[in-house]
Chains A and B, each alone.
Chain A
């Protein structure tokens, strides 16, 4: 797994007045069912070392205010990789886009144009971007995480 932290690098070039970096980390896990010795099934999360089409993925976005100032009005945006079909979030507070980030809304409000000119309700698999508008202030040192799921196409 590769992790690329570019936040600090970006801060250098634009030099904001207050150095209050927000740290962001994206992790992906594969959800698997594992039989316990007693025959019951446990769901476990594994690092994505063995991943094939149809596998269930859990994306975890962790954020932390590592600066000295509180951060506010922050929005987290995550384009869904093309090879992944979005299947929902843990909290349901997200808004989504089905047109590459042009228009946003709750999934239930979005419609997809069909070839015959009619519309159908948007499905999770249509989602191209997911976004959380977190209307809260993140105090210095505090952290949180957002979780969404997908299936490898």
Chain B
């Protein structure tokens, strides 16, 4: 009997201490714990009390290997093209009744349905696995261990699968990954487990109680490319031709693109991706457009929208014209949103 058990047995005669007696471990009674059952009988012979007879029986608790690998948060991990060290999180929880090590192995899915829907269609580069050694739930420079050392009963630790995303990946691409953890003895050696066919011994034995009873657990997660996806188009319409209608003051009916006419260009930027596009600048070199001259009476306008056809509204922002180049910086373009740069020229 261990000294700890002696104390527990002794304590069991103290009434106040053991209300709601229950195990401190969800993992169960620790391996190697002696369970001692004491029984006593009091009796009389005739009218004389006799000294109580007692007996006890002790056995030792064996080792039960039980643990889980679970993806953290159960959502896909968004990544952007060309992202280095993209990481997704798993949690390894030891519910065995002994301290264990775990080896870790990251693998990639190959073209099958990923765990959060979508079909795996690319692999991340430089696939690695690291333990959240400093316990801050974030993959950082302190997390260099590639296997789990001494995970106590009921303890859990986060594990990161890390990879790089090629610049060529596009919005909606999915890379599925799998983390596989293998239970090891706390000195890092492989576990030799008893099987149902193995004869039991008096010593401490080990059995696998995990799924599949093999000491190996895994779970899947995925990276989904979520990015801005911009398309640019250029619209034009004749605003006036200085011949038709009321001349220069207002837009006339059906102006024609004749020399001297004013033409409005509308550069349309559409974000068909799922993430906002930031710092979008648009420039148009009029030196490349023959036979037109910038109309300085109309200040280039940014952040407008397309009304219909080739007609845009001039937005509230202002662009600029310098060295024969029209340019403007657009406000962040959210996924699905459209912004424009509008300016005018005259036909030479």
A49 touching B200, Cβ below 8 Å: yes
Judged by a CB distance under 8 angstroms, whether A16 is at the interface is yes
The CA-CA distance from A146 to B246 in the complex, in Å, is 114
A100 touching B16, Cβ below 8 Å: yes
Judged by a CB distance under 8 angstroms, whether B289 is at the interface is no
Contacts of B8 in A (CB 8 A): 82
B48 touching A16, Cβ below 8 Å: yes
B43 touching A75, Cβ below 8 Å: yes
Contacts of B14 in A (CB 8 A): 100
B36 to chain A, nearest CB (A): 6
Judged by a CB distance under 8 angstroms, whether A10 is at the interface is yes
A17 touching B54, Cβ below 8 Å: no
Which of A20-28, A37-45, A87-95 touches B?
A: A20-28
A22 touching B18, Cβ below 8 Å: no
Judged by a CB distance under 8 angstroms, whether B58 is at the interface is yes
A73 touching B12, Cβ below 8 Å: no
A50 touching B62, Cβ below 8 Å: yes
Judged by a CB distance under 8 angstroms, whether B22 is at the interface is yes
Judged by a CB distance under 8 angstroms, whether B41 is at the interface is yes
The CA-CA distance from A5 to B112 in the complex, in Å, is 65
Contacts of A16 in B (CB 8 A): 45, 48, 50-51
Q: Mark B15-33, 1 if CB is under 8 A from A, else 0.
A: 1111111110101110001
Q: Mark B40-56, 1 if CB is under 8 A from A, else 0.
A: 11111110101111111
Judged by a CB distance under 8 angstroms, whether B97 is at the interface is yes
Q: Name the interface size band of chain B.
A: 35 or more
Which of B129-137, B202-210, B300-308, B314-322 touches A?
A: B202-210
The CA-CA distance from A72 to B44 in the complex, in Å, is 5
Give A77-130 interface residues, CB cut-off 8 Å to B: 77-79, 81-85, 98-103, 112-113, 125-126, 128-129
A10 touching B51, Cβ below 8 Å: yes
Judged by a CB distance under 8 angstroms, whether A36 is at the interface is no
Q: Mark B41-79, 1 if CB is under 8 A from A, else 0.
A: 111111010111111111111111000000000000000
Judged by a CB distance under 8 angstroms, whether B168 is at the interface is no
The CA-CA distance from A78 to B25 in the complex, in Å, is 24
Candidate in B18, B50, B97 with the most chain A CB atoms within 10 angstroms: B50
Contacts of B42 in A (CB 8 A): 74-75, 77
Evaluate whether A72 and B64 lie within 8 angstroms (CB atoms) in the complex, with A5-B55, A79-B12, A126-B20 already known. no
B41 touching A53, Cβ below 8 Å: no
Judged by a CB distance under 8 angstroms, whether A11 is at the interface is yes
Closest to B42 in A: A75
Judged by a CB distance under 8 angstroms, whether A76 is at the interface is yes
The residue from A18, A49, A76 contacting B41, defined by CB atoms under 8 A apart: A76
A61 touching B39, Cβ below 8 Å: yes
Contacts of B50 in A (CB 8 A): 16, 18, 20-22, 71
Contacts of A22 in B (CB 8 A): 41, 43, 50, 53
Judged by a CB distance under 8 angstroms, whether B194 is at the interface is yes
Evaluate whether A83 and B23 lie within 8 angstroms (CB atoms) in the complex, with A1-B58, A52-B209 already known. yes
B55 touching A3, Cβ below 8 Å: yes
A39 to chain B, nearest CB (A): 16
Closest to A12 in B: B51
A52 touching B41, Cβ below 8 Å: no
The residue from A26, A28, A70, A128 contacting B21, defined by CB atoms under 8 A apart: A128
Closest to B19 in A: A99
The residue from A10, A26, A49, A153 contacting B201, defined by CB atoms under 8 A apart: A49
Contacts of B63 in A (CB 8 A): 52
Evaluate whether A26 and B64 lie within 8 angstroms (CB atoms) in the complex, with A53-B29, A73-B43 already known. no
Residues of B within 8 A of A (CB): 8-9, 12-23, 25, 27-29, 33, 35-46, 48, 50-64, 97, 194, 200-202, 205, 207, 209
A-B contact pairs, 17 of them (CB 8 A): A3-B57, A16-B51, A23-B53, A24-B39, A24-B41, A24-B53, A26-B38, A49-B200, A49-B201, A50-B62, A50-B200, A53-B28, A61-B55, A63-B53, A83-B35, A100-B12, A129-B12
Beyond the given A22-B53, A26-B39, A100-B14, could you list 10 further A-B residue pairs with CB under 8 A, ordered by the A residue number? A53-B61, A53-B64, A71-B45, A72-B43, A85-B22, A101-B15, A126-B21, A153-B23, A153-B25, A153-B29
Residues of A within 8 A of B (CB): 1-7, 10-11, 14, 16-18, 20-28, 46-54, 59, 61, 63, 67, 69-79, 81-85, 98-103, 112-113, 125-126, 128-129, 138, 152-153
